């Protein structure tokens, strides 16, 4: 692909690695395009939907004129797979923080798990995690959390289109979820445990689809850089 094609506009399907921020992934692509294809330093590039550092999977990166499509792409339904750990919670609802509370799990069986799934289908009220980038009073929630401050977080409407349990091996439960923009799977993990009169946190998360775009068609950052080398 030529420099002109990237400037005209492309949608790149990137498989974001574990521990990378979405910003780091975009920056890596940006400087690869600048250094290897000679794109101007101020060319437009951005992603259509953040993935947490502890999540892997599909990141849509738009270049050139296609950056105008970012809002449209962000609004599309997203599919995730991952794992809930039942019987314990963390302040961040995932592995970013240590376990802060444990709960009984003896009463949990397959019937209760599948029955609980039905409570989360359709439009639901969800509270974003305190460890998130949402701003309150001009400050990101995770900054309040790291400062040890208690913040009141408002519920938000979100929609769970599909919610499937794919493996039960307590304390682990694997899942597949299709949801609307703005859904926090970490919050879903926390709320799911609570609904079973226990606790839960997210230990694995992978974004597999955004609209019709599939992670199976995505490329990792290093392979993308190598593909540019081949074009030079």
Catalytic residues: 52
On whether the CB atoms of residues 211 and 73 are closer than 8 A, the answer is yes
- What does DSSP assign to residue 217? G
The first and second tokens of residue 38, run together, are 């000679």
Residue 149 CB-density burial (10 A; 0-12 exposed, 13-18 middle, 19+ buried): exposed
Q: First vs last Cα of the chain: how many Å apart?
A: 10
Give CA–CA dist 108/197, Å, rounded.
9
């Amino acid at each position: 692909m030529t420099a002109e094609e990237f400037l005209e506009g492309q949608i790149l399907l990137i498989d974001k690695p574990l521990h990378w921020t979405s910003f780091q992934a975009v920056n890596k692509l940006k400087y690869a395009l600048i250094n290897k294809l000679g794109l101007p330093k101020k060319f437009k590039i951005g992603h259509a939907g953040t993935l947490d550092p502890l999540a892997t999977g599909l990141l849509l990166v738009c270049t050139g004129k296609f950056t105008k499509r970012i809002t449209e792409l962000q609004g599309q339904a997203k599919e995730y797979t991952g794992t809930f750990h039942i019987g314990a919670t963390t302040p961040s609802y995932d592995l970013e923080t240590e376990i802060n509370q444990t709960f009984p799990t003896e009463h949990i069986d397959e019937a209760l798990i599948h029955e609980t799934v039905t409570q989360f289908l359709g439009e639901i009220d969800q509270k974003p995690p305190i460890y998130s980038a949402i701003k309150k009073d001009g400050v990101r929630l995770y900054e309040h959390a790291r400062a040890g401050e208690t913040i009141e977080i408002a519920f938000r409407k979100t929609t769970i289109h599909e919610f499937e349990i794919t493996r039960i091996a307590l304390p682990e439960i694997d899942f597949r979820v299709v949801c609307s923009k703005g859904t926090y799977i970490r919050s879903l993990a926390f709320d799911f445990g609570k609904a079973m009169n226990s606790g839960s946190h997210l230990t694995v998360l992978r974004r597999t689809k955004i609209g019709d775009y599939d992670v199976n068609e995505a490329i990792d950052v290093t392979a993308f850089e190598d593909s540019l080398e081949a074009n030079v």
